[in-house]
Amino acid sequence: MASPEIETLTQALSRLPGLGPRSARRAVLHLLKRREGAMEPLLRALEAVNERLVTCHLCGNVDTVDPCGICADPRRDPRALCVVEDVSDLWALDKSRLFPGRFHVLGGRLSALDGVRPEDLTIDALVGRVEAGGIDEVVLAMNATLEGQTTAHYLAERLECFPIRLTQLAHGVPVGGELDYLDEGTLAQALRARRPVG
């Protein structure tokens, strides 16, 4: 029987995505056996991120600097903006290294069932970024779910009055799929075959 502290650690890890109680228990045992080589570096890394974690005021990404590394990168094309639902989607698309522009994180998707309204998301900030000028294309990279497509349709209506090219990810993203679970090949195909909205 493990001590209350070890049991608390196991329960905390089991709440992480992809880790159930058994996987969490194995992870805790690994950390305990390799205290200096695994646990202490993990603790230092968690403390460093916890102390410095911020949300980028420009795009909504989470990083340890503000503006985030993506927004501050001069090699990024400021004329192209990719709109995503969550930070995990941003990271998935950025990992593919196929989109040369910048991002905007909505912080979720419209959902009548969950009570998520347009004012609950960063839609006004997105419209403000487009309204400020300098953006030629906005890519709507919503998840291929009913709520994601509803959000994309709403955004298209809000942005149709601006002189921009409005596109969305093409087929290749499976219906019901979420971006952070897709492989890079599927993401690459979806980005390459993006098409105009409407």
d(CA 178, CA 85): 10
Backbone angles phi, psi at 184, to 5 degrees: -65, -30
pLDDT confidence of residue 35: 86
Interval 71-103: pLDDT, tens: 999 999 999 999 999 999 999 999 988 999 999
Interval 108-167: pLDDT, tens: 999 999 999 999 999 999 999 999 999 999 999 998 888 998 999 999 999 999 999 999
Sign of the alpha-carbon torsion through 116, 118, 119, 120: positive
- Give me the sheet containing 77-84, strands edge to edge: 101-105, 77-84, 137-140, 165-168, 195-196
17 class by beta-carbon count within 10 Å (0-12 exposed, 13-18 middle, 19+ buried): exposed
In Å, how far from its chain's centre is CA 132? 24
Question: Strand locations in 106-156, DSSP E?
Answer: 137-140
SS3 of residue 35 by DSSP? helix
- For residue 136, give the nearest of 78, 60, 97 by alpha carbon: 78
H or E element in which residue 79 lies? strand 77-84
**pLDDT over 70 (residue 171):** no
* % residues pLDDT > 70 (the chain): 98
Share the mean pLDDT of the chain: 91
- For residue 94, give the nearest of 141, 133, 134, 155 by alpha carbon: 141
**AA identity, residue 100:** P
pLDDT confidence of residue 53: 95
Top pLDDT among 95 and 169 is at 95
185 class by beta-carbon count within 10 Å (0-12 exposed, 13-18 middle, 19+ buried): exposed
What pLDDT band is residue 22 in, cutting at 50, 70 and 90? very high
d(CA 86, CA 106): 6
The radius of gyration of the chain's CA atoms, rounded to the nearest angstrom, is 20
pLDDT confidence of residue 175: 73
Interval 29-62: pLDDT, tens: 999 999 889 889 999 999 999 999 999 999 999 9
Please give the DSSP secondary-structure letter assigned to residue 140. E
**pLDDT over 70 (residue 1):** no
